[in-house]
């Protein structure tokens, strides 16, 4: 089993957690009639859909490069995280609608104690799985697992807010607290979904690597530059966990092909050592050649 394909095991863990929490939260809502707990249960259905999408996209992303996909299938992960973000936004609208209806037509809550116990257990399940996914996402540089983990952590905070609101309704009798907290939950979910969608869009649009990683790349390149060696046209992007780095290296025109090739091999090896999962593409050019010095545009005439 490859390291990449093993990530689907974490996605299946998320599927299992979503099924468990859906059952617990659904039962809590059925017992209490709380629209806040209903909103929490609806978010778990989104968790399930997102986790199933993560399984399929991580399976696709694990495929090796082929003739039709020479750069691999890593971008498949962005579709998983993008869909999950979109589903989160849809769930938020559903929650807001239910909350407004309950605000206009208040309903007393029932069996609050047992309902809250079930909700807390569901939150603990989500918290444990989220921490596992977050560590795995950072370790394997998977946007899909990180998005899934962020969503589950949002779900934990959602449940905490709902539990406090339902408990407050039980103590005060203020029925309006339940739908108001549900609206706050919807707003929080919208923010989380928007961030996840934004990260996916950036990945699909081939955004440059983060500034911290660019600084690492420049530090490596600066070790090789001097009076006779320069570089330009540095371009970077990321597809899933795979980083792509391209640049031109300028050397004296009197150098032999072997000498220039050895330099490029060393630069590429140092860059791969500094950044994991990096594919490096270098192009050798002669110093002093006007065509080389002007070769900075993304599209050449």
For each of the domains in the chain, give its residue range(s) and CATH number, in order of start. 7-204 (1.20.1510.10), 211-293 (3.30.70.1350)
Residues of the chain with pLDDT > 90, as a percent, come to 20
Read off the pLDDT of residues 2-16 as tens digits, 9 standing for 90 and up: 444 467 788 788 888
181 and 162 Cβ atoms separated by less than 8 Å: yes
Read off the pLDDT of residues 103-133 as tens digits, 9 standing for 90 and up: 777 767 767 778 888 888 988 998 999 899 8
Residues of the chain with pLDDT > 70, as a percent, come to 83
Which residue in the block uniquely carries the two structure tokens 């399984």?
55
Dihedral in degrees, nearest 10, Cα atoms 270, 276, 281, 286 = -20
pLDDT for residue 1 is more than 50: no
pLDDT confidence of residue 215 = 95
Which 3-state string (H, E, C) describes the chain?
CCCCCCHHHHHHHHHHHHHHHHHHHHHHHHHHCCHHHHHHHHHHHHHHHHHHHHHHHHHHHCCCCCCCCCCCCCCHHHHHHHHHHHHHHHHHHHHHHHHHHHHHCCCCCCCHHHHHHHHHHHHHHHHHHHHHHHHHHHHHCCHHHHHHHHHHHHHHHHHHHHHHHHHHHHHHCCCCHHHHHHHHHHHHHHHHHHHHHHHHHHHHCCCCCCHHHHHHHHHHHHHHCECCEEEEEEEEEEECCEEEEEEEEEECCCCCHHHHHHHHHHHHHHHHHHCCCEEEEEEEEECCCHHHHCCCCCCCC
pLDDT confidence of residue 203 = 67
What are φ and ψ of residue 162, in 5° steps?
-65, -45
- Residue 274's CB is within 10 A of a number of other CB atoms, namely 15
104 and 26 Cβ atoms separated by less than 8 Å: no
- Residue 294's CB is within 10 A of a number of other CB atoms, namely 9
Read off the pLDDT of residues 184-243 as tens digits, 9 standing for 90 and up: 777 777 776 777 677 677 666 677 888 999 999 999 999 999 888 999 989 998 876 778
- Residue 228's CB is within 10 A of a number of other CB atoms, namely 11
């Amino acid at each position: 089993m490859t390291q990449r394909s093993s990530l689907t095991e974490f996605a299946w863990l998320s599927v299992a957690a979503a099924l468990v929490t859906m059952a617990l939260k659904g039962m809590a809502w059925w017992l209490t009639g709380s629209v806040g707990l209903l909103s929490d249960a609806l978010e778990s259905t989104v968790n399930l859909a997102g986790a199933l999408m993560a399984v399929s996209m991580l399976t696709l992303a694990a495929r090796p490069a082929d003739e039709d996909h020479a750069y691999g299938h890593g971008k498949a992960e962005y579709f998983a995280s993008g869909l999950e973000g979109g589903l989160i936004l849809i769930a938020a609208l559903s929650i807001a609608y239910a909350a407004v209806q309950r605000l206009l037509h208040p309903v007393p809550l029932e069996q609050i104690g047992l309902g809250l116990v079930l909700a807390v257990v569901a939150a603990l399940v989500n918290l444990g799985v989220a921490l596992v996914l977050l560590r795995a996402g950072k370790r394997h540089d998977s946007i899909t697992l990180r998005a899934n983990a962020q969503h589950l952590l949002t779900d934990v905070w959602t449940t905490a807010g709902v539990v406090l609101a339902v408990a407050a309704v039980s103590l005060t009798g203020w029925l309006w607290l339940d739908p108001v907290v549900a609206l706050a939950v919807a707003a929080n979910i919208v923010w989380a979904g928007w961030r996840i969608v934004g990260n996916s869009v950036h990945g699909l649009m081939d955004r440059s690597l983060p500034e911290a990683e660019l600084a690492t790349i420049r530090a490596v390149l600066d070790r090789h530059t001097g009076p006779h060696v320069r570089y330009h046209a540095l371009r970077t992007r990321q597809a899933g966990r795979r980083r792509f780095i391209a640049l031109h290296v300028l050397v004296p025109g009197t150098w032999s092909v072997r000498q220039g090739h050895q330099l490029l091999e060393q630069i590429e090896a140092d860059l791969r050592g500094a950044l994991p999962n990096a594919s490096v593409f270098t192009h050798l050019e002669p110093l002093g050649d006007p065509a080389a010095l002007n070769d900075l545009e993304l599209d050449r005439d």
